[in-house]
Each structure stands twice: as C-alpha cells, then as structure tokens.
C-alpha cells in the first residue's frame, strides 16, 4: 500500500482557482484511505475541514454515506474523522479550508480491483 501526498502541507485553502482542489483517481482500486494532518478547531463554526467530493458524470458531488457528507476534521463525528476509508472505483476531489497550522492531505491506496 503506497501513501500519496495529494496536497502538500500548507495553511492555504484550496480555492479551485489560484490553488486547485486536489483530485485522486481511485478507479482501479477497491478502496482508499484519505487522511489529513494538523486539522484544528479554526475560526469557522464547524472548524477546519476537508470536504470530500466524488465525480458523478461530469459533475463533482458531495461524497456521502447514509446521506451525511464525508469530511476530514480534527474531531470525530458522523462520517467525520482525521482519516477515513472510501470506496474505490471513481475519482475524488478534496476541498481544504484555510488552516492555522500546515495541513496536508494524503491517500493510502488499497488493493487493485480484481477483474
């Protein structure tokens, strides 16, 4: 299992223009584990976070489980954690908030899909 840095540790937010939202191709994998380090409470009501999107056709949609959005956060909650396992077979996009400390986003690759 390889760990890939999809967003090098930084305090800046990925805004989709000057700093692109990082993407990861998990089409050939059974699953991935995505993680973020150094997420803190931050200034927002819901804290510093990384929102996770999945490609559906030509559109990025919020990745969910049981109707709750997946997010990487500094504290655990429903579908929220500092790391989580996501199903493979598609593309993911990660939208990072500005953070007080340098925060990176990482993906550990699971096994390949058996065909």
pTM of the model: 0.85
Query: Which residues lie below 8 Å from residue 27, measured CB to CB, with a gap of 6+?
Result: 88, 89, 90, 91
More confident residue, 8 or 70: 8
Stretch (H or E) spanning 2: none
Give per-residue pLDDT as tens, 76-114.
665 567 788 999 999 999 999 888 889 999 999 999 987
CA gap 15, 63 in Å, rounded: 18
Number of domains observed in the structure of the chain:
1
Average pLDDT value for residue range 12-20: 90
Domain around 86 = 3-109
Work out the pLDDT band at 42, boundaries 50, 70, 90: very low
CA gap 90, 68 in Å, rounded: 19
Place of tokens 């990025």: 60
Asked whether residue 72 is assigned to any structural domain, the reply reads yes
- CATH number for 35: 2.60.120
Asked whether residue 114 is assigned to any structural domain, the reply reads no
In the chain the first and final C-alpha atoms are separated, in Å, by 19
């Amino acid at each position: 299992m390889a760990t890939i840095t999809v967003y090098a540790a930084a305090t800046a937010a990925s805004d989709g223009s000057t700093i692109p939202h990082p993407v990861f191709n998990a089409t050939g994998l059974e699953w991935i584990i995505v993680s973020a380090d150094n997420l803190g409470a931050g200034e927002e009501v819901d804290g510093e976070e990384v929102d996770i999107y999945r490609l559906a056709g030509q559109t990025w949609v919020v990745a969910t489980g049981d109707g709750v959005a997946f997010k990487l956060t500094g504290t655990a909650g429903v579908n929220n954690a500092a790391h989580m396992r996501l199903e493979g077979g598609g593309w993911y996009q990660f939208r990072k908030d500005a953070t007080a400390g340098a925060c990176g986003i990482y993906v550990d690759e699971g096994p390949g899909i058996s065909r």
